[in-house]
Amino acid sequence: MSKVIKILGTGCPKCKTMTGIVQEVVKENHIDATIEKVEDIVQIMKFNIMTTPALVIDDIVLIKGRVPSKEEVLALFN
């Protein structure tokens, strides 16, 4: 089943780094997923987070406030 990945962040450098990492992981491992960037603060706040960037997969917040490594992101899909 295709997964929905959301990256929450208002556009700071850290958020861009996280987007890049997630895109690479998805591409390299042929993961069936759509990546969506959420930049609107009102939308971001619906996820009840206080630090950005945050990684959301299928509406569950898995990482917040830091940039994960590629391995860590990959592990979240298994």
Binding interface with other proteins (CB under 8 A): 9-12, 14-15, 41-42, 44-45, 48-52, 65-67, 69
Question: Closer CB to other proteins, residue 35 or residue 49?
Answer: 49
Strand ranges (E), the chain:
3-8, 33-38, 54-57, 60-64
Closest CA to 21 of 71, 75, 76: 71
12 in active site: yes
In the complex, least distance from residue 55 CB atom to other proteins, rounded to whole angstroms: 13
15 in active site: yes
From the list 5, 8, 15, 56, the catalytic residue is: 15
From the list 10, 11, 12, 13, the catalytic residue is: 12
- Helices H / strands E in the chain, number of each: 3, 4
- CA dihedral sign, ordered 60, 50, 67, 27: positive
In the complex, least distance from residue 18 CB atom to other proteins, rounded to whole angstroms: 11
